[in-house]
Amino acid sequence: MSFSDDVRQELTRVIPSARCCRTAELSAFYDLGGFLLGANNQVMDFNNSSPLVARKILLLLKGLYPDLPTQVLVVKSRSRRAQICTVRVLGRAHAGQVYQDFRDQSVLGDLEIPRKKCCRRAYLRGAFLSSGSITNPERAYHLEISAEQSRLAERIIEIINSLGLDAGVTQRQGTLVVYMKDGGQIVTMLNLMGAHNALLRFENVRVMKDMRNQVNRLVNCETANVDKTVKAAMDQLEDIQRIEETIGLEELPPKLLEIARVRMENPYASLQEIGDLMVPKMSKSGVNYRFRQIREKAQQVDKLNTKY
């Protein structure tokens, strides 16, 4: 079972106690997978590919309307690899009552998002169960909810933004996809929807990945510093060798001669280590200054050789 399936299975077990939240979650199921059908809207259908989600829709409906006449239909494809589970509200009056309750929720703004924060959380849970998915955090951080209509995508984004989160939107094969790619925000989203077990799994993976990335950055940084130190040492040895082969090291001032000999005896030492070996000890900047003087002397020698 995929990580996304685990999240969906966990969310199907979350049944809000407040009537307003049940209505909000059902309205998300209707918005993203529901229809009024028949002459004069005789029935209301809630469609989903998961039997567990269909069961939850039925529980929410029965919790709100104990005497509501309903029917559950399962239509399988010929290949039996796909199925549609339909929870059907029977009767024009009953379908109309449920639909009117969806529309009568307290709303905020033109996009008609639930006024209460708890209802917005419930709506997102229903939206995710209807057409959402989440990538295994071991691979990538990605949560998305698909919507066929732009007004629904805008509503989902508005609700996400109202809860202090950010989401983007893109188009994939004619369908709008609201997505999130920030690991921390996805953790918050799971918490808001009520997927607490999945949240812990996601957070554990995220912490381990962050630690691995930090270790890799430190190793890469240390490797780069070592490479830089070795290259600088090789350049310094080359300068010293050119001076020795031309005019001889004895022609160097005593301070430069001393540090040149220390470098030759310690070809892979860092500037700080060279400074610690000097008598008296020298600072890293002082050692670097003397090696720059040796570099200038080597360049002068090269110019003399070129001239003659």
pLDDT tens per residue across span 233-247: 888 899 898 888 888
Per-residue pLDDT, 81 = 65
Q: Is the pLDDT of residue 105 over 70?
A: no
CA atoms of 136 and 138, how far apart (whole Å)? 5
CA atoms of 237 and 292, how far apart (whole Å)? 12
Per-residue pLDDT, 108 = 43
CA atoms of 198 and 192, how far apart (whole Å)? 12
Q: Is the pLDDT of residue 110 over 60?
A: no
Bridge partners (DSSP) of residue 175 are 172
Those residues with Cβ within 8 angstroms of residue 100's Cβ, 6 or more apart along the chain or in another chain: none
pLDDT tens per residue across span 11-48: 999 999 899 999 999 999 999 988 888 767 788 999 99
Q: Report the SS3 class of residue 193.
A: helix
Only one residue has tokens 């920030």, namely 182
Per-residue pLDDT, 158 = 93
Domains and CATH numbers, the chain: 3-194 (3.10.28.10), 228-307 (no CATH)
pLDDT tier at 129 (50, 70, 90 boundaries)? very high
Within 10 A of 161 (CB to CB), how many other CB atoms are there?
12
Q: Is the pLDDT of residue 6 over 90?
A: yes
Per-residue pLDDT, 122 = 95
Nearest to 164, CA basis, from 178, 147, 144, 184: 184
Which DSSP helix (H) or strand (E) runs through 144? strand 143-147
Contact yes or no for 130/178 (Cβ under 8 A): no
